[in-house]
Structure 1
Amino acid sequence: MSDLSLEQAIQDLEKIVVQLEQGELPLEQALEQFEKAVRLSRLSQQKLQQAEQKVSQLLQQQNGEELTPFAATPEQDEASS
């Protein structure tokens, strides 16, 4: 799943939301889809954070500031588990 692009992850997430909103899935399938949606949401969030960090680093580089590696905050670590 981690090899999905942000766009593909969001598209898959939207499909799952539509399925769940229709309410026609059996409980087990609904739970599986919900779990997948949570994973996709976390993956999307991580990809967005990585993109933001990249932009920040490029802007710092443009301004002649020293680049530092990205370090997740404790809240971000908890959100990704």
Structure 2
Amino acid sequence: MSDISFEQALQQLEQIVVKLEQGELPLEQALEQYEQAVSLARISQQKLQQAEQKISKLLQQQGQESLVAFQPQEDE
């Protein structure tokens, strides 16, 4: 399953969320869907980390500043 793209994993995650939110799945199927969602979330996180590492490496090669962690602004 790790050979799927980030976009495919995200799309599958969204589909699973819709199914789970409907609340119509039997318990066993809901658990299977949840397990698949956890796996897809891990794959997505790994792909994001890989992309971040590539970007950092490219920035370093070009002598530019490094990446800074995103800090969302709090609503006032």
What CA distance in whole angstroms lies between the structure 2 residues aligned with 1:2 and 1:26? 27
SS of 1:10's partner is helix
* TM-score, with length taken from structure 1: 0.77
Question: Aligned residue pairs: how many?
Answer: 64
Aligned Cα root-mean-square deviation (Å): 1.0
What CA distance in whole angstroms lies between the structure 2 residues aligned with 1:38 and 1:28? 15
What CA distance in whole angstroms lies between the structure 2 residues aligned with 1:45 and 1:2? 11
Identity %: 77
The equivalent residue for 1:15 is 15
- Higher share in helix: 1
Shift of 1:6: 0.2
Q: For structure 1, list consecutive stretches of 5 or more residues without a partner in the other structure.
A: 65-81
For each residue in 1:12-57, what CA deviation from the matched residue of structure 2 results, as whole angstroms up to 9, or x when unmatched?
0000000000000000000000000000001000000000000000
Q: Is the counterpart of residue 53 in structure 1 residue 63 in structure 2?
A: no
What CA distance in whole angstroms lies between the structure 1 residues aligned with 2:17 and 2:4? 18
What CA distance in whole angstroms lies between the structure 2 residues aligned with 1:62 and 1:3? 30
The equivalent residue for 2:74 is none
What CA distance in whole angstroms lies between the structure 1 residues aligned with 2:50 and 2:37? 20
